[in-house]
Amino acid sequence: MSHQLFKVQSLLNLSFLALFLFSCIAGTAKSSDSHSGKHSRSDVKQGERYYKGLLPKASPNPSCVSCHYYKPADTINWNPASIEIAELYLNKSSEDLEEVLLSPFGKVMSVAHANIDVPQDQIQYVKAYMDNLAENGLPKDKPSFLKLLLFLLIGGVMTWALLDLIFFHKVKFKAIPILIILLALGYQLNMAYEAAVKLGRSDTYQPDQPIKFSHKVHAGDNKIDCMYCHHTADESKSANIPSTSLCMNCHIVVREGARSGKFEIKKLVEAYEEGRSIEWVRIHQLPDHVFFAHAQHVGAGKLDCAQCHGAVEEMHILKQENDLSMGWCLNCHRETKVDFEDNEYYQMFDEFHKELSEGTRDSIMASDIGANECSKCHY
C-alpha cells in the first residue's frame, strides 16, 4: 500500500516536471523567434522604446500604449487596440504612419495625436515595432530558471516527507509529513497549471466584438428603438442581429463617432462595400434542446426587452443579464400575469374568459395557459 503511494507520487512528480520543462522549451522557442526577418532586432527594440514611452528622459506626453492597449480593459476602451493598428499598417509604409502621427485627420485623431513625441526620423523604428507586433504578437513571459529550481526543491521536500511517512518515521506526528505532502502537491499543481495555461495563451488582445458597437450610444444617447434594429422580435423566433446595410441607413452619413473617431465606423463601411457581413460574437445561447421564441414573449406576451435583457440602453459592452436557466423561465411563467382582456392571442381560452367575467378568478399566469408544460420548451 505504502509502496504504491510512493510510486504514484514519483509518477506525478515526473509528469509535472515533464510538463514544466516542455513549457519552458516551448516558451523560449516562441520568444526567440518573436522577431521577423523584415526588420533588424535593434530597430524593433528602438521602436518599442518610443511606442511604450520607455525613454531615458520621461516625456510629459502620453505614449502610444497608454491609448493603444494590449490587454482587455474593464470598461470599453474606444481607442483602437495595438494589434488592430499594427495589422492595419502592416501593408502600409512608414510614410503612411508618419502622416497619421504628424498630420492627423478627423476630429478625434487630431486631438489624440496632437502631442506625439516621436521625432520624424525615428518613425521607421516605431513602424518596425508595429510590424513585429502584427506578425508575432507580444513576446511571451519566459519561464525562469529560478522557478524550475523551486519546482524541483518542492518535489524534493515532498519526497522526503513521503519517505519519512513510509520508512523512517523520524517525525512523531504523522499529520506533519501528510500536511507537507499536501501543501507541496498543491503548490506544484498550481505551478504546472500556470505553465500549461501560459503555453496556450496569446497575449495580444483583440476586442471581443469585431466592431465596438455600443448600445448605450445607439439605444441610449441617440434613442434608437430596439425594434429598429431587432425588427423581427415581435413576429419570429429570433430577434435577429441587424445587417450591415441596416447600419448604413445612418452611417452612409455618420462617418465619425465622438469616441472612436473614424476607426470603428471605417470597418463597417469597408465590410459593407466588400459585401461582407460582420461576424458578431453571439452572447445569449440556449442549448439545442430548448425552444424559445421572441414572438411569444414580445408579440403575444407584450413583454419589454428589459425584463429579460436588463438595461441594455446603458451598456457600451453588451452583457447577459440572466442565466437563461430552466428555473428562470419557469419562475417568470408562474409570476407573470397575461393580459387577457384585450389580447387577440387568448381568444381560444373560453373557460378562463368565463371564470374571469364571473369573478371566480382574478388573474391568469403564463403557467396557467400551459407555458410550463415540458413539451412547450423541449422538442
Residues 329-368, interacting with ligand HEC (CB under 6 A): 329-330, 332-333, 336, 338, 345, 366
Amino acid at 89: Y
Q: Is 212 in the site for ligand HEC (CB under 6 A)?
A: yes
- For ligand HEC, the binding residues in 3-42 under the rule CB under 6 A are none
- For ligand HEC, the binding residues in 170-199 under the rule CB under 6 A are none
- For ligand HEC, the binding residues in 143-162 under the rule CB under 6 A are none
Report whether 187 contacts 181 (CB < 8 A).
no
- For ligand HEC, the binding residues in 89-128 under the rule CB under 6 A are 89, 97, 100-101, 106, 108-109, 112-113, 116, 118, 126
Which listed residue (13, 140, 261, 272) binds ligand HEC by CB under 6 A? 261
Alpha carbon distance 176, 169 (integer Å): 11
- For ligand HEC, the binding residues in 310-329 under the rule CB under 6 A are 312-313, 318, 324-326, 328-329
Nearer to ligand HEC, 20 or 213 (CB): 213
Q: How many Cβ atoms are within 10 Å of 353's Cβ, its own excluded?
A: 16
To the nearest 10°, report the CA torsion of 51, 57, 62, 65. Answer: 30
In the complex, least distance from residue 25 CB atom to ligand HEC, rounded to whole angstroms: 34
In the complex, least distance from residue 276 CB atom to ligand HEC, rounded to whole angstroms: 13
Which listed residue (52, 187, 242, 361) binds ligand HEC by CB under 6 A? 242
> Which distant-in-sequence residues (6+ apart) come within 8 Å of 83 by Cβ?
70, 133, 134, 137, 204, 205, 206
Nearer to ligand HEC, 39 or 309 (CB): 309
Alpha carbon distance 247, 224 (integer Å): 12
Cβ neighbourhood burial of 261 (10 Å; 0-12, 13-18, 19+)? buried
Q: Is 166 in the site for ligand HEC (CB under 6 A)?
A: no
Report whether 345 contacts 369 (CB < 8 A).
no
Report whether 160 contacts 167 (CB < 8 A).
no
- Binding residues for ligand HEC, how many (CB under 6 A)? 102
Conformation bin of residue 76: beta by default, left when phi > 0, alpha when psi is -120 to 50: beta
Cβ neighbourhood burial of 346 (10 Å; 0-12, 13-18, 19+)? middle
Nearer to ligand HEC, 8 or 311 (CB): 311
Report whether 302 contacts 338 (CB < 8 A).
no
Q: Which residue has the cell 430548448?
A: 290
Applying CB under 6 A, the span of 16-24, 33-41, 159-167, 257-265 interacting with ligand HEC comes to 257-265
Q: Is 218 in the site for ligand HEC (CB under 6 A)?
A: yes
Site string for ligand HEC, 262-281 (x = CB under 6 A): xxxx--x-----------x-
In the complex, least distance from residue 379 CB atom to ligand HEC, rounded to whole angstroms: 11
Amino acid at 46: Q
Which listed residue (149, 252, 290, 354) binds ligand HEC by CB under 6 A? 290
Site string for ligand HEC, 47-76 (x = CB under 6 A): ---------------x-x-xxx--------
Nearer to ligand HEC, 180 or 247 (CB): 247
Closest CA to 198 of 141, 137, 133, 134: 141
